[in-house]
Amino acid sequence: AAEGFAKESGITFGHGLEKNRYIGRTFIAPNQSLRALGVRMKLNPLKENIEGKRLVVVDDSIVRGTTTKAMVAMLREAGAKEVHMRISSPPYKWPCFYGMDTGTRGELLAANLTVDEIREYTGADSLSYLPLEQLLGSIGAVNAGFCDACLTGNYPVDIPVNLAKHVLEAEGTADGDDGAATLLDIAPVGSVD
C-alpha cells in the first residue's frame, strides 16, 4: 500500500522502519504491556532515512492504537519533523468474532474516538483512513460477500455482541463437555439485556 500511495502522490518511497519478521501481529497479544513490548521489539527506526524529514507512514489498520502511537513516537525520537499517518482501511470499530482476537468495542480506538481524537492520541500530525467504498471497490468485493463486520458492525451471522466472544470461544468444562457452542446455546439477537 505504501508503494502505491507514493506512486500516486508523487512522494518519494523509502523505508523508515525496519520490521523484525519474527515478531507477529502485536495487536492480538493478550494484554497491553505485552502489546507495547512487542511493538518496540518489532520496529526499528532507520535514523538515516528519518532525521529532518516530513514523513507519510502508510499502515494497514489501527486497532487499539498501540502500534501507531509507539511508531509515531519512535519516528519523532529518530528526528522526523512531521509524521502523517495514512491507513489503508476504514476505521476498525467492531470486534471480529471470526478469528481475530480483538476483544470488545471498548478496546477499539475508532469505536470510541473521532479521527481527530485518534490523531491526537497517536501524536501524528495528520491521519486519514481509506473509505469503505474505496476499499471494497479496490478489491472488487462490492456485493461479493466480503465480511466487513469489523468496519461496519454488519455481522454475516446474528450473534449477540455482548455474548459473541464467549459463544465462539466456549471452553470445555470439568464434566467432559467439549465446549462446542451451537446457536441453540445462545439467546436470539435482541432478547439479551
**Residue 97 phi/psi, 5° resolution?**
-105, 15
Predicted pLDDT of residue 32: 60
Alpha helix stretches (DSSP H) within the chain? 2-9, 32-42, 47-50, 66-77, 109-112, 115-122, 132-138, 149-152, 164-168
Q: Which helix (H) or strand (E) holds 129?
A: strand 126-129
Q: Residue 58: helix, strand or coil by DSSP?
A: strand
Mean pLDDT taken over the chain: 78
Predicted pLDDT of residue 48: 94
Domain annotation for the chain: domains and CATH numbers: 2-155 (3.40.50.2020), 157-193 (no CATH)
Task: Give per-residue pLDDT as tens, 153-172.
Answer: 988 887 665 555 555 554 43
Profile the chain (193 residues) by mean pLDDT over runs of 10 residues.
90 86 54 62 86 94 90 93 96 86 84 98 98 88 77 83 52 39 31 33
105 C-beta neighbours (distance < 10 Å), count: 15
Q: At what angle do helices 66-77 and 32-42 cross, to 10 degrees?
A: 40
Predicted pLDDT of residue 37: 62
Predicted pLDDT of residue 132: 93
Nearest to 119 by CA among 87, 76, 71, 85: 85
Kindly give, in sequence order, each residue whose CB lies less than 8 Å from that of residue 122, ignoring residues fewer than 6 positions away: 62, 65, 68, 69, 72, 85
Predicted pLDDT of residue 120: 98
Q: What pTM value is reported for the model?
A: 0.74
